[in-house]
Chains A and B, each alone.
Chain A
């Protein structure tokens, strides 16, 4: 059978045309035609502009005839295009009337907001032709990647160990030892490393197309170029960053990224994308015309009553997320990444903006967030909010979730950092964080899904791309961002960091020992806390950014991971690796629901208990700098199986071990009295950050028995983890 509606009805300058299909938006191959469809509520006319690849001048401009319009959509089919060799754009005509929100300019050639393949910045740092009329150029995508049997992994949320990574920073360093440095293919080469570390999810900092030359300037220190390295500035919401693909020069970034996802999945590693739906790269009224401003300014942007750009993002403009059409675009973009790229989850940058109405006011039931929470295609996709914005909205603990959204738990970061530097006023808060922040997530208003959000709502982290690396957190009291060219004014001032006695690198062995111990303390607290742990890439080898806590523009050794650190800080890597294995081994560290602190099944001991330097006396200790807790592994079995008798447990889900953690952030040693274990079990030591390697950590499952079963001595600023299990 052949379709009867794929015959041309029009001819224009030698090209054969037909009325297009308004849906889907973008450029779609249908038979021997390409269907071009674009909407604009306020445009009066639209022209399709076609180029041969990389040519400055278009070879044809085709107006959308009256019969090519339906509602506010312009669509046409163009037949017999060699679409591998076509770039397309639009000219939009309409009012230029900024005070009413309109900025149409038909002299500009505009990128399709639904472009799935964008060229023009194909090789990182290669100067484009700045005089070119059309900078970021849409192409028709090949969407027939052969996934074989791959699908998103759907790993249970509480089993995730997230590894936040930047595509360039991860493998650009000279010592990375990969063939394709700084690219998707480079990450593939490092999969064995990720497996050894033990993480099962990579969160990629923005990989949507952006322009590294945005706000490009020379460094005040040595004149090298300061690029937009991080890419929190979208050119397109449907296209991958070309220059992140080693094959970007051949415009094969789509296949290369898909291959990365497929290969990670084959190794049990999920992929979360950091997505930036709060603003675009067009900036404010002084910025360039890339797409949205010229296609339909009033639809895409939140505008002040006099037509200027609201700036809740801190980046010049704010995407009009709760305009119904923009909302649809966001939903379509996310569906596309899940459907076509098999993406497992998204982390939404400055997500609080997604809950603001078209005038910028926070909404109580934001329709966009509700749509995403209930979307069928995103039904098992992880949704993680950075629950604040640059306009002062802070929603950690109150982000509208409908039981689906998790949050970057900024309070975990702040409390744990303060505890690490021996702040005596934070222990009560630290206890909440270790428990998965029940104060924030154990209940939420019924309108957002009824009962508590559970432990899967909290993404715990001590460090992330914003701020110090973990090694810098224990090496610097203040930020050192001079190289960013803003006189050290940029970046967070309130870091809760402590340099351990000297600002920056030192040869002092005692200070360096303490720094290593503090790094280990930090990852210990992260891995023994309930919730979803997230590690900043490079922290596992003590990577430093030389005190720069905002390295967004440092496309050099400052931000690139120094793989030589892997050898230099071998003890840190080993500690991370075993700590991650320990967490993955012990279900008792990865509960679904908040703990009850009671023995509700009459097993003899509660599911969770706080202790002090005296067992069962949490109040006993030193100035809020000491605390201990015990997790009861018997509670990891399903209630119906246990029935009050641990011996009855199913062989498929044996009870976990007991885990006891003693934390001493005081600068002196303290003895901790140990709680008694049930008959037949004894305490074994898994980790002691106060010990020199290799005695600082054991291989999980091979922990040595401790002689004294009644008390442990925990050294200054140290943490001990004991495992209560049968002695073999």
Chain B
């Protein structure tokens, strides 16, 4: 039985890339390493998919179980000479060592030769993933071009170490066979400080496996399965092929608990992989899942999650007539298809956007275009102009034409999250540049100010505007806006301003916001103590206003309710249309039904009104002092 060991790569006479170079190949530090991690690994899994079966993509956040820990320590502790350059030695001695695994099934695994100096006729997944760096990928409709993005795996691990456990059909027999190897990227170093070996420089790349003379072969076949089982890695079913990548001691940065991190991963998956998750793709789709400490975190359904669902709607429109084809004029060329989804929404609270959405570039309500090319992986969310109203949002999708796929691919940085025309020359440069020009043209309409809206009332003073608009928002939620007109009435009564203070001592009636009865028999002053507002009562929506009755003695209150229309107070409702009605009055704790109620002043009275959905309601009360006590009985 082969016992896997660590082997450190010395610099060959011709020189080699040092591990620092590999880790820096992402170009810039990623905004969120977990986002890059999801994008990169999912892309690898997707490129390796087998035809006719759904591709399972599972992220697992686990810790090394106590029963497996001795095995980890025994097998993965580096030899003394490399100890200080390989952090994994320290990691495996700590209890509760955390692991982040990417498990893909329904994929073909990493196949091909296991030595980079062997000429590969068929597949060379192993070579390009495990050994080489910067090799061109030529997967048909593949997501990536160069495998630089895998550097994020090493960056994510605090000790720069991953394990690769794969099962793939053998080249000649086609039988499924397992391979297991460990890869670590430390810093380049030399062994001059040690006396027990020859001094020589090392690149900082290490492999863990079946160590040979000058390279490392993976542990293969049943031995690989045995070692994997001893380490507690997710095993393969009898006919399963695929790959499990294990990031040792992942740096979860700001996420304090694995649960939070898992939640974030699940949402990140939705934001970046939704085009290949959609059910209409049939078996040609990615089925993602996230598991943390044995608990499963469902990946949100992109067709339901706001605002992502708007992008999904736009995407589904791409083949229809409502989408447009963007073209470049000189030279004339189809660039791709563009579709747009618009909506009127209640704006999101300022901090309601999830971190996954923010990292994807959509912070809050969308005004973005999702860019993608033939593999239909999200390249980025391109930010367009914001609309002139917070209620009005849009989401677009641009999918590059298949013919230009390679052009757009070449314009992408290693993380595949942008199209940079500066990287190209000639016509290709023009195509990418013009794409953004066309997108800006398409979105220019949103920059224009909206048409002058027709004013629906001129009674509210300017100071009331904010209150008035607040009522609209309430209407959007509950289907009623009960306060607009009552307030207008209030401001009319008070002469200026919108807040009416109820002061019983205010003798001249200026504080009265409700029409007082002005009959000769006397005046009963009524003030609005609390403006009409929406409340829930027994599962229904009601409008509630509180009035103060200042007069002494019994006062008869008449509720005058009406729907406020564009034309003002509605006198004649449409056929069969409902009208607002009094639910009841509330005097102290006593409920009084009916449109009329008699109270003993001075008193405070609540009026509860059942509004009509999708209308504005005007509430007025008319107060009449009751001279003859026999009238009081009428209520």
**B is bound to A:** no
